Amino acid sequence: MRSWKAAILIMIAMPAWAETPDIAGIVDDHILPGYQALAARTAGLADAAQADCTPGNAHLNTAYHAAFDAWIMVSHLRFGPSEQDDRAFALAFWPDTRGATPKTLAALLRDQDPVVRSPEAFQTVSVAARGFYALELLLYDPQFQQNEAVGYRCTLITTLTQGIAASAAAILDDWEGGYADLMRGAGSNDTYRSPDEAVRQMFTALSSGLEFTAETRLGRPMGTFDKPRPNRAEARRSGRALHHVTLSLTATRDLAAALSGGDTDLDAAFGRAINRATALDDPVLATVATPEGRFRVEVLQQSITDIRQQVAEDLGPRLGIATGFNSLDGD
Amino acid sequence: MIIMKQFTLAISAIALGMGSVASAQAETDKAAVLDTYANIAAAKYTDSLITAQRLQSAVDALIAEPSAEALQAAKEAWLAARVPYQQTEVYRFGNPIVDDWEGKVNAWPLDEGLIDYVDASYGGPSDENDLAVLNVVANSAFTLSGAKVDASQITPALLEDTLQEADGIEANVATGYHAIEFLLWGQDLNGHGPGAGNRPWTDYAAADACTGGNCDRRAEYLKAATDLLVTDLEWMAAQWAEDGAARTELAKDEDAGISAILTGMGSLSYGEQAGERMRLGLMLNDPEEEHDCFSDNTHNSHFYDGMGIQNVYLGAYVRIDGSLISGPSLSDLTVAADPALDAEMQDKLSTTMMALGRIKTAAEAGFSYDQMLERGNEAGEALIMGGVDGLIDQTRSIERVVAALGVESISFEGSDSLDNPGAVFQ
C-alpha cells in the first residue's frame, strides 16, 4: 500500500529531469561560511566595544555594521543550532511590536541593574535587551545618548557585544561539531531520516526568509495605504532598512541557486528584485510615507512575491516537497 | 474507534492485492476522516456557544444585581467557556473561514487601556498605538483617525465596526474573550507575583457605590461584548453544521481537506503556540505576554490548545456534557500508510500533553504562569520549555505525516502564511 502510494507520488511530483540538491554542498558553501563570517565579525565587534565603548566612535560603528551584515546573511537559516537556547532570538529580536527593547533597556539603565556585570548572568536578561537591535538603540538612538550613567552604559554595551559573540560562536560550534554532519548524512540519523527531510528544511529556510523580507522587512513600514508606518522600518536608526532587504535577497538567491540546480529563471527573478531594491535609493524606506514612494516599495515587494510564487509553485513540486512549518505560521 | 481502525487495516490488507479497489477505498477513508473532523468542529463550536450563553446569563445577572458573588459567578462562567473554545483553535490555520473570523472572538494581546481605566504604570499612548489609553468606558465621544465618534451608546456595532482594530492596530482589541476577561478581572498588577487581576465588584455598582467611574457604561460594554461573543459563536457553529460553508469547503477536495487538518495542527503547534504564546513570553520575561493574563488562566489556555491538536488527530472529542464524538481519524489514515509513524505521532502528542499538564498542575497548585516567566526562574523556564520542546518536536512528525499521506503538493499553497502573513510576533 505504501510503496504503491509512493510510486504514484513520485510520478506526480518528480519529473524525470529533477535533481536532488547537493545537501553537503549547501552546508559547505552556503551555511558554514555564513556562520564563520558571523562568528569572526561578532568577535571583532566585542573587541571593538572592549577597546572603546563610546557610541559614535568610528571603529565601533564599522564593527557593528560588519557584524550586523553577517547576521542578515544567515538570518533565514532558522533551524538547528540557531534555535538552541534561543540563540537567534538573543541575536535578533525584531520586530518589536510592543516596544519591549527600549522599555527593557531603559529599565536596566534606570535601575543600574548589576546583571550586566557578568556575561553569564546577562544571558538571563530578556532577549529584547540583547542582540543587534538593542545594541542599535544604545549606539544610535538619541534617548540613550543622554543618559548620565556613562559608565554603566559602557558596561552594558561591552557585555551585550560579548553576548552576541558568544551566541554566534555557539551556533558555529554546533554546526561544525555535529549538526553539519547530520545534514550531510541525512537518511542515516533520526534528525533527518531521509535526504528529503534535509532538503525540506533548506527549502523552508528559503521560503520563510523570502516571506520575512517581503512581509515584515517591507510590509511593516508600508503599513496600509492610509496609514504608512515609516518608523517601523528595520534598524532605521543606523540606516540599514533597505540594506537588509538587499542582503537577505542576496543570501536567499545563493540558497535558491543551489536548491534549484542553477535555475536561470529563478535567478533572474532575484536579479530583478535586487535591482529594484538598489534603484530605490531610500536607506530607511522613509518614502513609504508618500503615495509614489509607497508605490515604489510595493513594486519591490511584488517582485519578491513573484519569487516566492516561483519557489512554491515551481521549485517545490520539482523537488517533490512543500515548505514545512515556520515561526511565521501563527498570526 | 478501535473497531474502525481494525476495519481500515483489513481493507488495506485486501487492497494490497487489488489496486483499483485500494484507490476507491483510500478516497472513502479520507472522506470519512474529513467527516469526523467536521463533526468534532461542530461539537466544539456548539459547546463554545453553550458555555458563552451561560456566561451571558451570568453577566446579565451581574448587571441586574451587582455583587461580589455575581462577579465571581461570571468569572467562573468565563473560565468554563474557555475549555471548549481553546480546543477549537486547531481549526484556525487550516480553514480560512475560521482564521478570518477568529480575531473577533480571541484577539490577543490587547492594549486594554482602549477599553477602560488602567494603572498609571501602564503608560500613555505608545509609538505603535495612539489609542492605547482611549478608555471608551469613560469617554462617550472621541476622535478616531480624524473622525468624530459618538460612543454615547456602547453597542455591539460600536465595538465591532468602530473600535475593533481601530486605526489599523491589532492591539486595539475591543471584542471577544479577552476584552470580557479584562472587564471581569481587571489588570493583573502583581507582576511576577502570585494573583490575578483584582477588579472590585463595585466597578459595576450603582450610584455612589460605583468605583472606577462610569459603572453603567462599563456594564453596557460588558453586555455588548458578551452578546457579540454569543452571536459570533452562533455564526461559526452554523458554518460547521450540515451544509455549513466550512464543511462544504472542506469536502470539495479530499487531499486539500486532509492537508488543511495538518496545516492547522502544525501552524498552531509551532509558530503560534510554541513560538508566539510560550517561548516569546519566556524570552522576554514579560508577564503581559501571558495569553490569559488578567485571569491568570494561561496554563489552561495552553493545555486545551494542545488537547485540541491531539483530539483532532485521534478523531475523538469529549463534549461539555461528557458525551464522546468520534470516528475515522487522521491517525487511522496514518496507520494505513505507515504504522510506525502513527505510533510516533501519538507518542509525541502524548509527550506534549504531559508537559502542558505539568504546567497546569504546577499553576493550579499555586505556582502561577507569570511566576514561571520571571527572569532567572529556572523551574518555571524548564516547565515552559518542556511544553515548547514538545510542540516543536511534534511539528516535525506532523511534517512527516504530511509527506506520508502524500498531501504535500497541495498543502500550504493556500496556507495562512503565504496568503495572509502577519509580522512574526504580532
**Any chain A CB within 8 A of the CB of B125?**
no
Angle at which helix B330-337 crosses helix B19-64, to 10 degrees, equals 150
Greater confidence (B10 vs B289) lies with B289
Indicate the pLDDT class of residue B122, thresholds 50, 70 and 90.
Answer: confident
Comparison of pLDDT for B352 and A322, the residue scoring more: B352
- Does pLDDT of B397 surpass 90? yes
8 A C-beta contact, residue B324 and residue B316: yes
pLDDT, one tens digit per residue, over B156-175 is 999 999 999 998 888 899 99
Contacts of A215 in chain B (CB under 8 A): 421-423
Residue of A nearest to B393 (CA): A191
pLDDT bucket at B5, cuts 50 / 70 / 90: very low
Task: Answer whether residue B19 shows pLDDT above 50.
Answer: no
**B52-71: pLDDT as tens digits:** 999 999 999 999 999 999 99
- Are B338 and A5 an interchain contact pair (Cβ–Cβ within 8 Å)? no
The answer, for B344 touching chain A at a CB cutoff of 8 Å, is no
Q: State whether A97 and B12 contact (CB < 8 Å).
A: no
Alpha-carbon distance A315 to nearest alpha carbon in chain B (angstroms): 11
Round to whole Å and give the CA distance between A284 and A235. 8
Q: Is the pLDDT confidence value at B338 over 70?
A: yes
Q: Is the pLDDT of residue B185 over 70?
A: yes
Confidence of residue B146 (pLDDT cuts 50, 70, 90): confident
Residue numbers in B near A227 (CB within 8 A): 145, 167-168
CA-nearest residue to B262 within chain A is A325
Tens digits of residue pLDDT in A12-53:
444 444 458 999 999 999 999 999 999 999 999 999 999 999
Question: What's the pTM?
Answer: 0.87
Residue B143: strand, helix, or coil: strand
Tell me, yes or no, if B267 comes closer than 8 A to chain A by beta carbon.
yes
Segment B281-310 mean pLDDT: 92
In chain A, whose CA is at the least distance from the CA of B270?
A: A327
**Among partner residues A8, A97, A215, which is closest to B425 by beta-carbon distance?**
A97
Burial of A173 (0-12, 13-18, 19+ CB in 10 A): middle
Local structure of B318: helix, strand or coil: strand
Task: Compute the nearest-CA separation of A142 from chain B (Å).
Answer: 16
H helices then E strands: how many in chain A?
A: 16, 0
pLDDT for residue B420 = 34
Interface size A-B, in CB pairs within 8 Å, comes to: 155
Q: Which of B171, B271, B338 sits opposite A2 (nearest CB)?
A: B338
B168 residue type, one letter: G
Residue partners of B101: CB distance under 8 A and separation at least 6: B232, B235, B236
Mean pLDDT of the B234-247 span: 97
A56: which residues sit within 8 A by CB, 6+ positions away?
Answer: A139
Of A126, A227, A330, nearest to B284 by CB-CB distance is A126
What's the CA angle centered on B85, arms B79 and B90, to 5 degrees?
140
B317 touches chain A (CB under 8 A): no
Peptide linkage before A95 cis (omega within 30 of 0): yes
Any A CB within 8 A of B342 CB: no
Measure the CA–CA gap between B98 and B38, rounded to whole angstroms. 12
* Residue B190 clears pLDDT 90, i.e. is over it: no
Q: Which residue from A95, A96, A323 is facing B412, i.e. has the nearest CB?
A: A323
Cβ distance of B270 and A326 shorter than 8 Å: yes
Q: What is the DSSP string of B70-139?
A: HHHHHHHHHHHHHHHHHHHGGGTTT-HHHHHHHHHHH--S--GGGTS---GGG-SS-SS-TTTT--TTT-
Spell out which residues of chain B touch residue A212, defining contact as CB-CB under 8 Å.
424
The complex scores an ipTM of 0.83
What residues in A contact B127, CB-CB < 8 Å?
Answer: 99, 231
Q: Mean pLDDT across the stretch B251-267?
A: 94
Grid cell, residue B43, equals 461539537
Per the listing, cell 568577535 goes with: A43
Best mean pLDDT range from B196-200, B409-413, B419-423: B196-200
List of chain B residues whose C-beta atoms are within 8 Å of the C-beta of residue A196:
403
- The alpha-helical segments, DSSP class H, found in B154-270 are 156-157, 177-185, 215-239, 245-251, 254-267
Q: What is the pLDDT of residue B27?
A: 52
Residues from chain A contacting residue B266 (CB–CB below 8 Å): 324-325, 329
Specify the length of chain A in residues: 331
Res B17 pLDDT > 50:
no
Residues in chain A where the model's pLDDT stays below 50: 1-18
Bridge partners (DSSP) of residue B142 are B149
Cβ neighbourhood burial of A59 (10 Å; 0-12, 13-18, 19+) = middle
Contact B391, B270 (CB under 8 A): yes
User: Taking CB atoms and an 8 Å limit, are B267 and A330 in contact across chains?
Assistant: yes
Inter-chain contact B283–A231, Cβ cutoff 8 Å? no
The pLDDT assigned to A19 comes to: 59
- The nearest CA of chain B is from the CA of A195 a distance in Å of 13
Distance to chain A for B196, nearest Cα, Å: 22
